Amino acid sequence: MENKSVGIIGMGDMGRMYARRISDAGWKVNACDVPAKYQQLVVDFADCENVTVYPNGHLVSRCSDYIIYSVEAEKMDHVVAQYGPSTKQGAVVGGQTSCKTPEIAAFESHLPHDVEIVSCHSLHGPGVDPKGQPLVLMKHRASDESFQLVERILSCLGSKHVYLTVQEHDRITADTQAVTHAAFLSMGAAWAANKQFPWEVARYVGGIENVKINIALRIYSAKWHVYAGLAILNPSARRQIRQYAQSVTELFKLMLGGHREEFTQRVKSAAASVFGNNSQRNLLLEDELLDQFSIGDMPPQQVRNNHLSLLAMVDCWSKLGIVPYDHMICSTPVFRMWLGIAEHLFRNEKLLDEAIDTAIEDNTFRSDDLEFTFAARDWSDRVDFLSMDAYREKFEQVQHYFEPRFEEAKKVGNQMLKTILERSSATTS
């Protein structure tokens, strides 16, 4: 192993996963979290001889050759201002935050000029095996030699390297991550507003519904700041999330008014623009596979659903000129699941026609759809206000509602993601 060391500032879920894998590959890792967590971190990494835990980021920065900041996106400026000036001369610095514009601004403001910048972003959560998943690498201010050092270090993750500029990264992740999360967050908020546990309602069991529930619960069982950061701090994300809320609202109004022709025309033209040129692709998800991952018992016959959340997603992609397949190279497991169920609905004419019929004719679930529409707009407003506090308040309120069921949901959700990702071989190209 080369005589180079890796610094990790922020030993939360992602930092710990990186520290374990990089040190297992033989690199020396210097790590820290906030001083209050120092003692615990020493205990937790006592079994890792290649990891040295330090009380703060000054001590990590001064002795490491590649330093990764893995802290909350909203704290980056403050943390880099604190430790950046202590960076070892000639070192390379990067970050793991999900949105790169503010991260790079923090580096440019606070790092000494002799320090190079290569950032990264693993496009998956800490519980997913990084092997084969996309890892975005951004050579912002660095020599080829330094970039290659970063690639050699991170190659132990076994991820698929994707080379983008900071601007490309933020634009694509706004299209893939931010708007996808907005849809799942809205589902959870609507279920909570209606005091439902969706797996206890026949409409939400089986096939596509299992994915909706499992992913929504997975997101709500995670940390609010991850989702807030990538929605609020990404300058491209607001527009996407706003368009999603608008698509939901407009489709819901057409449903309420019983405007069958206009509704059908709008859904079908969105389908043509998003899926028209991709109708020969293999489906990302198979029906029988989806049915296996129910939290509740399967009803004898699937209850019809208008799938407003999915119709609005495809409408939104179409309005923004987004072809989601163009972003597969830079997709997260959650995005692939979301696209998988959208495709499932839109490439099955019978299912799509049934959703349209249900939307126009069936009043049974109007209260669910009303709450979903409110929720989509509320999330969009909170993001537009650029308010981390407002985002956190809503996230934690819904999180609290679902909390008693997280353990069960996580088990089923993890198994679902694992099986489906293996079967679809993490199709990232």
Ligand X SMILES: O=C(O)C(=O)Cc1ccc(O)cc1
Ligand Y SMILES: NC(=O)C1=CN([C@@H]2O[C@H](COP(=O)(O)OP(=O)(O)OC[C@H]3O[C@@H](n4cnc5c(N)ncnc54)[C@H](OP(=O)(O)O)[C@@H]3O)[C@@H](O)[C@H]2O)C=CC1
Residues that bind ligand Y (CB under 6 A): 9-10, 12-15, 32-34, 57, 70-73, 75, 79, 96-98, 122, 125-126, 223, 226, 229
- Shortest distance, position 73 Cβ to ligand Y, whole Å: 4
Find all residues with CB under 8 Å of 369, minimum gap 6, and list them. 252, 255, 306, 308
Q: Which of ligand X, ligand Y, none is residue 352 near (CB under 5 to 8 Å by kind)?
A: none
Q: Which residue is nearest to ligand Y (CB)?
A: 12
Does residue 417 bind ligand X (CB under 6 A)?
no
- Shortest distance, position 196 Cβ to ligand Y, whole Å: 26
Candidates 70-78, 134-142, 330-338, 410-418 — which segment interacts with ligand X by CB under 6 A? 330-338
Using the rule CB under 6 A, which residue among 29, 80, 104, 123 binds ligand X? 123
Tokens encoding 335: 């995005």
What is the C-alpha separation between 324 and 162, in angstroms, rounded? 17
Does residue 7 bind ligand X (CB under 6 A)?
no
- Shortest distance, position 317 Cβ to ligand X, whole Å: 16
Strand order in the sheet with 28-32: 51-53, 28-32, 5-9, 66-69, 92-95, 116-122, 134-141, 160-163
Q: Which of ligand X, ligand Y, none is residue 161 near (CB under 5 to 8 Å by kind)?
A: none
- Shortest distance, position 133 Cβ to ligand X, whole Å: 9
C-beta of 98 vs 210, nearer to ligand Y: 98
Q: Which of ligand X, ligand Y, none is residue 96 near (CB under 5 to 8 Å by kind)?
A: ligand Y
- Is residue 255 packed enough to be buried (19+ CB in 10 Å), middle (13-18) or exposed (0-12)? buried
Taking a C-beta distance cutoff of 8 angstroms, is the pair 135, 109 a contact? no
Q: Coil, strand or helix: which one is 330?
A: helix
Taking a C-beta distance cutoff of 8 angstroms, is the pair 175, 326 a contact? no
Q: Which parts of 191-220 interact with ligand X (CB under 6 A)? A: 219
Q: Coil, strand or helix: which one is 122?
A: strand
C-beta of 42 vs 370, nearer to ligand Y: 42
What is the C-alpha separation between 207 and 410, in angstroms, rounded? 18
Does residue 332 bind ligand X (CB under 6 A)?
yes
What is the C-alpha separation between 198 and 346, in angstroms, rounded? 23
Does residue 188 bind ligand X (CB under 6 A)?
no
- Shortest distance, position 96 Cβ to ligand X, whole Å: 8
Q: Which of ligand X, ligand Y, none is residue 333 near (CB under 5 to 8 Å by kind)?
A: ligand X
Task: Give 410's Cβ-side CA count (13 Å radius).
Answer: 12
User: What is the DSSP secondary structure assignment for residue 329, as one 8-state letter?
Assistant: G
Q: Is 375 left (phi over 0), alpha (psi -120 to 50) or beta?
A: alpha
Length reported for the chain: 429
Residues that bind ligand X in the complex, under the rule CB under 6 A: 98, 123-125, 177, 219, 226, 230, 332-335
